[in-house]
Each structure stands twice: as C-alpha cells, then as structure tokens.
Amino acid sequence: MRHVVPQRVADGRDTSVAGLAARAAAADTADPLAHLRDQFDLDEELVYLDGNSLGALPTSVPSRLREVVEQEWGRGLIRSWRDAGWWDAPERVGDRIAPLVGAAPGQIVVGDSTSINVFRLTVAGLRAAVGRDPRRTELLVDGTTFPTDGYLAESAARLTGATLVPCHPSELVDRLDDRTGLVLLNHVDYRTGELWDLPALTAAARGAGALTLWDLSHSAGALPVGLDRAEVDLAVGCGYKYLNGGPGAPAFCYASSDLQDRLDQPLAGWCSHADPFGMEPEYRAAKGATRLRTGTPEILSLLSLDAALDVWADVDLAEVRRKSLALTDFFVSCLDALAPPGSFRLLTPREDGRRGSQVALECDDARAVMATLERQGVIGDHRPPNVCRFGFAPLYTRFVDALTAADALSTCLRARVGIGRA
C-alpha cells in the first residue's frame, strides 16, 4: 500500500495519487492533441520529458531519410541538387517553420547550428545598428543565457569592437539607452523555464532605437511566437528540440524583410552570394534570407527536419499552448500534493504568462535524483549544480506522464528526507 499523503491543495480536489490519476486520465481523454502522439515513435512505457533537449522521433522521418539516401543520393547523385530540390531546401524548410513562429514567408533559412547562427546574427545585427547610428556600439545580453550564446556574444563583441553589457531581461527596459545597438535575449530561459515577454521587450528595444535578436531554442514548436507581429528584427531557433529534427538537426535564422538587405553577415560564403554558380571573384550578397546562408547545406539532417515538420500539418498553436500550460500546471500540482514540503524549490514561475513548456526545480543531489528517475523509465535532465528539468513537449506528452514523473520524483524526495518509505 502506498503511504498516505497529506492533502495540501486547498481547492477541494482529491489530491491522493488515485485522485490525481483520475484527473490525468480525464485530461488525456479530453485532449484534442492526444492523437498526435501516434505520429511519434515512442516506447509506451517510457516517460520522456526531455523533448526540450532532443525531440522524439516522428514516424515520418525514417522512411523519408531512407528515400533521400537511397534514391535522391544513391540514384540521383549530383542531379538531386536540382531535381530533388536540395539547393533550395534551406529556404523551403524555412518557409515551413515560418508559420510556427509567426513569420511571413521569405524571412527564414535553415542551416548550421544554433551557436553558429547566434554568432552570425549577433555580428550582423551589431553591424546594422552601427551602420545606422555610429554611437550604437553596445550589445545587451541576457546574463542568464545558455552559455554558448554568452560566449559567442562576447566573441562577436570582440570582433566588431562593441561593448558587451550583461543585462537580466527583467532590467532590460532600464538599461536601454542611445548607445544600445543590439539586444540578444532568450524567449524562454533554458534553465528555469521562465518565459519573457517578447512583444513588450521587443517594443521597448525598438522604442529606444535598438535592434533585437531573440533565441527561440525553447519556444519554437512549444508556444506561439509571433515574430512579425512583434516586429522582431532577428531570431534564431533550434531544429532538434521542439521541432524534432533529430540530433544535430540544423537551426534556423530569421531576419525581418525590412532588415534583410542591410545585413552584412560575417560568414559570407558562396551560398549567400547573389550568383553562387557565377563563381565571381568579388562577393555580392544575395537578396532576402538567402544572404544568411554560408556553404553547402547539410542535406540529410535538413531533410530529416523537413520530414519531422509534417506533424505540424493542421496543428493549432493556441491549442498547443493551452495543453503545454495545462501539463506543466498539472505536474506542479502533483508535486505540491505528493512531495514532502520543503524537499524542492520550484524555479519555474507558477503564473501561466511567465512559463514556457518546462518545469525546473532545485533539490539536493539533483544529479542522483535524475539518475534514479531514469532507471525507472522517467527521463528528464539535470543542470548543475542542483537543477532538475522536465520538458513537456505538447505534441506527445500525456497528462499521465506528468503524474508518473511527479510520483516517481516525490517518492525519491521522500526517501531522501527519510520519511514515508512505508
């Protein structure tokens, strides 16, 4: 028999495991997105809460990749650059991502890693800002950012002579002034799962005369982004997290159509040339988002991402957001009900408007806790020193998964505080 758990949630609902299980089952039955899980190749028994780090495998991918390798590469050989549409795939796949991030066509190209694209667009953004107003030499960077963004921002600042100003998103509005050239921000904090107000911060930066570069690694495919509507200048996003493109799938770059033709990007290779096959000795930048390409596209992983995007046909992003919030909210309610008081500290904001699609918490020995959960078939991840992260990819995560994970985690935390091992 399971230990009797104190019922601490004051909303009158049954917060026993059985009560929570009934709620999970009802939510899964009512979930309008539930059928999408069938489009992923997931073990029935596994609770996979790491789609914010590596998205699950869509069932459309293996057969498409086999065709790309055996037919397009094997038989078509070099003709496939033309006949199979390989050459234009960076723009074509970019146009398929566009509706997921609220962008009109022609503003996104896919290729290279998120890291490379952060560098590319940071340098291009700084050059555009200084080109417009030579006083605008400061680069404001979210000081809590995923380290790669910080490292690359620093390198971009060294290269361009810009001054790096670390700035928490919550203090951005006060830090903007007439020296600010570019602001590099994360839409969702990779560690805490906090969602920043992209429209408001973009408007503040724009109002102060600065350009914006948003990293959408933890929002593209998890919630509506609305790049055009917010008048974002530049953005990068990851192909292998919520877009499920596969390990190391290429990332994407967004440049608003008003800015594109003023961009001078640092990795100006032949694929970003106005006439790549003219083999001209002088560089002339292509028009449009194509100018953000560099070299030969990584066709296999790019077309894996292309196939993975099939799952989004007919998916309503407002529904995705509703489910994501309901899942993360339910997971937190389960922890509130089941885990010993004081055994964890929630890092993710409880308010819906401030939460992405993951829940992060701090507890003692987080690394060992997550290893224990993994042995029980519950996969999340650990970030040093003591953060446990649980990502809720709305297309394939079930409410029952949230309960199973919260129950396993609570059992683990209870054992650690030395109670409840009845």
Ligand X SMILES: *Cc1c(COP(=O)(O)O)cnc(C)c1O
Q: Which residues are annotated as a binding site for pyridoxal 5'-phosphate?
A: 114-115, 146-149, 215, 218, 240, 270, 296
- Is 194 a binding residue for ligand X by CB under 6 A? The answer is no
Q: Per-residue string for binding with ligand X, 46-85, x by CB under 6 A?
A: ----------------------------------------
C-alpha angle with apex 147: 142 to 149, nearest 5 degrees? 60
| 3-state SS class at 184 | strand
- Is 91 a binding residue for ligand X by CB under 6 A? The answer is no
| 3-state SS class at 351 | coil
| Contact stretch for ligand X (CB under 6 A) within 22-30, 215-223, 323-331, 333-341 | 215-223
Q: How many residues bind ligand X (CB under 6 A)?
A: 12
Alpha-carbon separation of residue 244 from 55, 150, 217, 329 (angstroms): 4, 25, 12, 23
Question: In one letter, which amino acid is 101?
Answer: V
| Contact stretch for ligand X (CB under 6 A) within 112-120, 226-234, 278-286, 366-374 | 112-120
Options 48, 119, 190, 330; binder of ligand X; rule CB under 6 A: 190
User: Which is nearer to ligand X, 225 or 326 (by Cβ)?
Assistant: 225
**How many CB atoms sit inside 10 A of residue 48's CB?**
21
- Is 114 a binding residue for ligand X by CB under 6 A? The answer is yes
> Active site residue: 48, 146, 242, 330, which one?
146
- Is 16 a binding residue for ligand X by CB under 6 A? The answer is no
**CA-CA distance, 201 to 183, in Å (whole number)?**
10
Catalytic site includes residue 323: no
Question: In one letter, which amino acid is 115?
Answer: S
> Active site residue: 355, 389, 398, 414, which one?
389
Catalytic site includes residue 389: yes
**How many CB atoms sit inside 10 A of residue 224's CB?**
14
Q: Per-residue string for binding with ligand X, 333-352, x by CB under 6 A?
A: --------------------
Q: Which residues of 333-343 are buried (b: 16+ CB within 10 A; e: fewer)?
A: bbbbbbbbeeb
Burial zone of 415 (CB within 10 Å; 0-12 exposed, 13-18 middle, 19+ buried): middle
- Is 242 a binding residue for ligand X by CB under 6 A? The answer is no
R_g of the chain, CA atoms, integer Å: 23
Q: Which residues are catalytic?
A: 146, 215, 240-241, 389
